[in-house]
Structure 1
């Protein structure tokens, strides 16, 4: 399983470890992934996702999974997140039409 965020596709970065003697050695900075269950208010469903801690803080700040997905552009989201966003939009359209 690759170490990537399920919502924003955030992956590992590369850089250097710099020792006291200034020797540069290549290394990977892994993403801090968390296994969480997020609730969609519009759909009434829970989604198990593996997301970065930074993304989880953003979801909390935006006010939940639905608000996060609706406020994020499609080119930043993964395919899984796009499917959830499409279902949320459809659910909201049905609620407004009724």
Structure 2
């Protein structure tokens, strides 16, 4: 299982541990991923996604999963999230 956020594409970063003696050793900074269940108002379904806590805050700020996916760029989304975005867009077009 890769350590990449399904909504933002945020992945591991590389940096250095720096000791008091200024010795540098490589390390990885992993994103803070959690598995959450987010509900779609349009589809009336819930989806289990592995996203970063920063993405979870962004979803809440934008007003839910539907609003977040509508504004999200396709190249940042995972294949599953892109499929959900297309389903939501199709359902919204059918309602209008």
TM class by smaller structure: over 0.9
Q: Equivalents in 1 of 2:8, 2:63: separation in Å?
A: 17
What is the TM-score when the length of structure 1 is the normalising length? 0.93
Name the count of aligned residue pairs: 96
User: Partner residue of 2:45?
Assistant: 45
Secondary structure of the equivalent of 1:90? helix
Relative to the length of structure 2, the TM-score reads 0.95
Tell me, yes or no, if structure 1 residue 34 matches structure 2 residue 34.
Answer: yes
Unpaired runs of 5+ in structure 2?
Answer: none
Structure 1's unaligned 5+ residue stretches are: none
The equivalent residue for 1:21 is: 21
Moved over 6 A (4+): none
Taking only aligned residues, the RMSD between alpha carbons, in angstroms, comes to: 0.8
